Chains A and B, each alone.
Chain A
Amino acid sequence: MLNIKNLEAKVENKHILNGLNLNIKPGEVHAIMGPNGSGKSTLANVLSGKNGYDTKGEIKFDRQNLSELSTEERAHKGIFLAFQYPLEIPGVNTNVFLRTSLNSVRKARGEKELDTLSFLKLVKEKSSELGIDEKFLSRQLNVGFSGGEKKKNEILQMKILQPKLAILDETDSGLDIDALRIVADGVNSYKNKDNAFLIITHYQRLLDYIKPDFIHVLSKGKIVKTGNAELGVELEKTGYANFI
């Protein structure tokens, strides 16, 4: 599904990714761990198509060259990024945002736009799965949301947009245990053999709930170690020092 070859990225002449290779197949869950400044969020941004990065190397998503696609086209193809710091958009209802977003994606995929009633039914179903109060949906997008609410909202968007590849950028940071469990349940219930996850995290604790198939250690813009779920437990004990 996703094939990254020799990816380099720099911002204002500062090299952040230095020849990164990664292959993700449908049905897999990959976790990326690594110390601060190792390039984890940059990887998420480059994959989703954020401006401002000078890149080299190759990223293919479903055999298509990602560098040819704009941010929104990548979203239409099924790449979703759960933001580390979801943005506030004052004056825009969460519901309106969700619907605009879903219909943009559906339109691009040649599907019919959802009418209000079907949309409300869908959003009600998905939000109740995540224990999100309906009132929350008529609030302005992320405005005045707590850290936990923002992250739950990201997972809700994921479940509504139904991406092929979901990238979670430190979705667990700032969550209490209950919220963490809800977020993890959200991911687990969405996971199937056709989609894949790339989970960026600092801590093992999220991986207690979402079992990864692979854990990669990122250091200085390169993957320096790849292992299975055991690797996370080991890292938790020993830190990154042995790998970087």
Chain B
Amino acid sequence: MRDKQIEDLKDYKYGFSTDIESFKAPKGLNEDVIRFISNIKKEPDWLLQWRLKAFERLKVLKEPDWQKPKYPKINYQDLYYYSAPKSASDKPKSLDEIDPKILETYKKLGIPLDEQKRLNGIAVDAVFDSVSVATTFKDELTKKGIIFCSISEAIQKHPDLVKKYLGSVIPLSDHYFATLNSAVFTDGSFVYIPPNTRCPMELSTYFRINASETGQFERTLIIADKGSYVSYLEGCTAPMRDENQLHAANVELVALDDAEIKYSTVQNWYPGDENGVGGIYNFVTKRGACRGKNSKISWTQVETGSAITWKYPSCILQGDNSVGEFYSIAITNNHQKADTGTKMIHLGKNTKSKIISKGISAGKADNMYRGLVEVKNKASNSRNYTQCDSLLMGNKCGAHTVPYIKNNNSTSTIEHEATTSKINEEQLYYCNQRGLDQEEAVSLIVNGFCKEVLQQLPMEFAVEAQKLVAISLEGSVG
């Protein structure tokens, strides 16, 4: 059974592309394209103006260059900024109206779009290239007053909420990629949980880049109102192409008083081939504001794909007693590069943050933890605990830890622990002697190494993630 699964997954399992006629904006980045996007989405004028303002700002911003992974210059004029499957230009009202080929694609990905699979208990919003194609379980959620839909739909139906919170965590002119996203974002998910409501199921988005020469700029906004709770999962794949594709998403989370948001990502974008050709540039801005007192935001990420991963899911701990958590597994193999970590900004009193980062590097890959913990002067009695562990496999890969620590309050404490180790030959021998082959042994040891983070994932994802961890490292120990 296991062999069969491994066989299926051996090469990049999600490397198929779907042959669907798509409807695209002309290539290039300019005001017309932005107007085109806004127009096709029938957006209110304030949003168009907001986009244009971002575009103005973008003209004076420079791409950041402080990150470790370098990449060839991206020609922003040579990308499509909007690509929609043609059949979706009249937006589907129900699953029956969705192009069967798209449904087939999601089926191949193992995404239960079909409501018959409701036993899975996960509501899914699926984003295909630039548009959201289906949102399941809508009725059940609506009964509780929960809004879970594409951001395009939210702009139409819940403009006040969107206007109030969009850009409130990641300001319009934050940095190059975030601003680019604000100018050209196409779709993404929107979640609103009303006060004192516990979302009864995991909410999930699946992103897939299909069309070639397409950037994906999705925008996700999640608001947990007072005393509410939501757990949100995000999974990503892309077909194999020998060009590099850009993915620059913005994700904003807002937790009000006593609210909690748990945000989990399993990122498995196409990493490029073993010579480093192709693969996704995953340049993502994720930020959460613990705006209310006693609020909590917890990020969990399993990053195994992409040619370059460059992201720092962060928490702004504004409310007193608020809590921020970041649990991360970043695996890089072959020529993959990751520069990832988090920012924990303590503003409120008695705020707490916890960072657990596990970096695994194999082949010729490079893996960097970069993180900022900053305690502002009013954040008295705040605490941070950071643990960064790196595991190296082989002699040609690298692991780096760069923590930035700023403590401006003498009553607050920050702890940082870091370890770097190589996968131990004796451990492998011990496992082999007990009958495990090399792949099984590596999988067991690495999963053990990552356990603290894997435990944070919802059950359905944890199993998938464990397999993914093993598959990403196949053939990495000789």
Cβ contacts A49-82/B at 8 Å (1 or 0 each): 1110000000000000000001110111000110
Which residues of B from 428 to 473 have beta carbons under 8 Å from A? Answer: 429-438, 440, 444-445, 447-452
Q: Which single residue of chain B is at the shortest CB-CB distance from A92?
A: B448
Q: Are A104 and B435 in contact (CB under 8 A)?
A: yes
Cβ contacts A96-136/B at 8 Å (1 or 0 each): 11001110110010000000000000000000000000000
Chain B residues, Cβ within 8 Å of A81: 433
Q: Are B447 and A87 in contact (CB under 8 A)?
A: no
Q: Which of B431, B432, B449 contacts A91 (CB 8 A)?
A: B449
Q: In the complex, A108 Cα to B433 Cα: how many Å?
A: 13
Cβ contacts B93-133/A at 8 Å (1 or 0 each): 00000000000000000000000000000000000000000
Q: Are A101 and B448 in contact (CB under 8 A)?
A: no
Chain B residues, Cβ within 8 Å of A104: 434-437, 440
When A86-B430, A92-B445 are in contact, do A75 and B451 touch as well, CB less than 8 Å? no
Chain A residues, Cβ within 8 Å of B447: 91-92
Q: In the complex, A91 Cα to B448 Cα: how many Å?
A: 4
- Decide if B65 is an interface residue (CB 8 Å cutoff): no
- Decide if B427 is an interface residue (CB 8 Å cutoff): yes
Chain A residues, Cβ within 8 Å of B451: 91-92
- Decide if B90 is an interface residue (CB 8 Å cutoff): no
Q: Are A75 and B434 in contact (CB under 8 A)?
A: yes
Q: In the complex, A74 Cα to B434 Cα: how many Å?
A: 9
Q: In the complex, A70 Cα to B433 Cα: how many Å?
A: 9
Chain B residues, Cβ within 8 Å of A102: 435
**Shortest beta-carbon distance from B390 to chain A in Å:** 14
Q: Are B437 and A72 in contact (CB under 8 A)?
A: yes
Q: Are B434 and A89 in contact (CB under 8 A)?
A: no
When A97-B444, A100-B440, A140-B448 are in contact, do A87 and B432 touch as well, CB less than 8 Å? no
Q: Are A89 and B427 in contact (CB under 8 A)?
A: yes
Which residues of A from 23 to 68 have beta carbons under 8 Å from B? Answer: 48-51
Chain A residues, Cβ within 8 Å of B437: 70, 72, 104
When A90-B448, A91-B450 are in contact, do A72 and B435 touch as well, CB less than 8 Å? yes
- Decide if A83 is an interface residue (CB 8 Å cutoff): yes
Q: Which of A51, A140, A161 contacts B429 (CB 8 A)?
A: A51
- Decide if A157 is an interface residue (CB 8 Å cutoff): yes
Chain A residues, Cβ within 8 Å of B444: 89, 92, 96-97, 100
Q: Which single residue of chain A is at the shortest CB-CB distance from B2?
A: A107
**Shortest beta-carbon distance from A69 to chain B in Å:** 11
Q: What total of chain B residues lie within 8 Å of the partner, measured CB to CB?
A: 23
Q: Are A72 and B448 in contact (CB under 8 A)?
A: no
Q: Are A75 and B448 in contact (CB under 8 A)?
A: no
Q: Are B432 and A71 in contact (CB under 8 A)?
A: yes
Which residues of B from 393 to 438 have beta carbons under 8 Å from A? Answer: 424-427, 429-438
**Shortest beta-carbon distance from B389 to chain A in Å:** 10
Q: Which single residue of chain A is at the shortest CB-CB distance from B438?
A: A72
When A92-B444, A97-B444 are in contact, do A48 and B450 touch as well, CB less than 8 Å? no
Q: In the complex, A51 Cα to B424 Cα: how many Å?
A: 13
Q: Which single residue of chain A is at the shortest CB-CB distance from B426?
A: A87
Q: In the complex, A141 Cα to B424 Cα: how many Å?
A: 15
Q: In the complex, A114 Cα to B434 Cα: how many Å?
A: 16
Q: Are A97 and B435 in contact (CB under 8 A)?
A: no
Q: Are A72 and B430 in contact (CB under 8 A)?
A: no
Q: Which of A75, A91, A141 contacts B435 (CB 8 A)?
A: A75
Q: Are B436 and A100 in contact (CB under 8 A)?
A: yes
Looking at B432, B438, B447, which has the most chain A CB atoms within 10 Å of its CB? B432
When A91-B448, A92-B447, A100-B444 are in contact, do A75 and B429 touch as well, CB less than 8 Å? no
Q: In the complex, A115 Cα to B408 Cα: how many Å?
A: 55
Q: In the complex, A100 Cα to B445 Cα: how many Å?
A: 12
Q: Are A157 and B434 in contact (CB under 8 A)?
A: yes
Q: Are A89 and B445 in contact (CB under 8 A)?
A: yes
Q: Which single residue of chain B is at the shortest CB-CB distance from A70?
A: B432
Chain B residues, Cβ within 8 Å of A75: 432-435
Q: Are A105 and B435 in contact (CB under 8 A)?
A: yes
Q: Which of A72, A92, A140 contacts B432 (CB 8 A)?
A: A72
Q: In the complex, A104 Cα to B2 Cα: how many Å?
A: 11
**Shortest beta-carbon distance from A199 to chain B in Å:** 17
Q: In the complex, A71 Cα to B434 Cα: how many Å?
A: 9
Chain A residues, Cβ within 8 Å of B440: 100, 104
Chain A residues, Cβ within 8 Å of B431: 89, 101
Chain B residues, Cβ within 8 Å of A90: 448-449
Give chain A's interface residues, CB within 8 Å of chain B: 48-51, 70-72, 74-76, 80-81, 83, 86-87, 89-92, 96-97, 100-102, 104-105, 108, 140-141, 157, 161
Question: Which 9 A-B pairs rank lowest in CB-CB distance, beginning with the nearest?
Answer: A91-B448, A91-B451, A92-B448, A71-B432, A101-B434, A104-B435, A105-B435, A75-B435, A87-B430
Give chain B's interface residues, CB within 8 Å of chain A: 424-427, 429-438, 440, 444-445, 447-452
Given A71-B429, A101-B434, A104-B436, 13 additional A-B pairs, CB 8 A: A49-B433, A72-B438, A76-B435, A83-B433, A89-B430, A90-B448, A91-B448, A91-B452, A92-B445, A101-B435, A101-B436, A105-B434, A140-B448
CB-defined A-B contacts under 8 Å, sample of 15: A72-B432, A72-B433, A72-B435, A72-B438, A74-B433, A75-B433, A76-B435, A80-B433, A83-B433, A91-B447, A92-B451, A100-B444, A101-B434, A104-B434, A104-B440
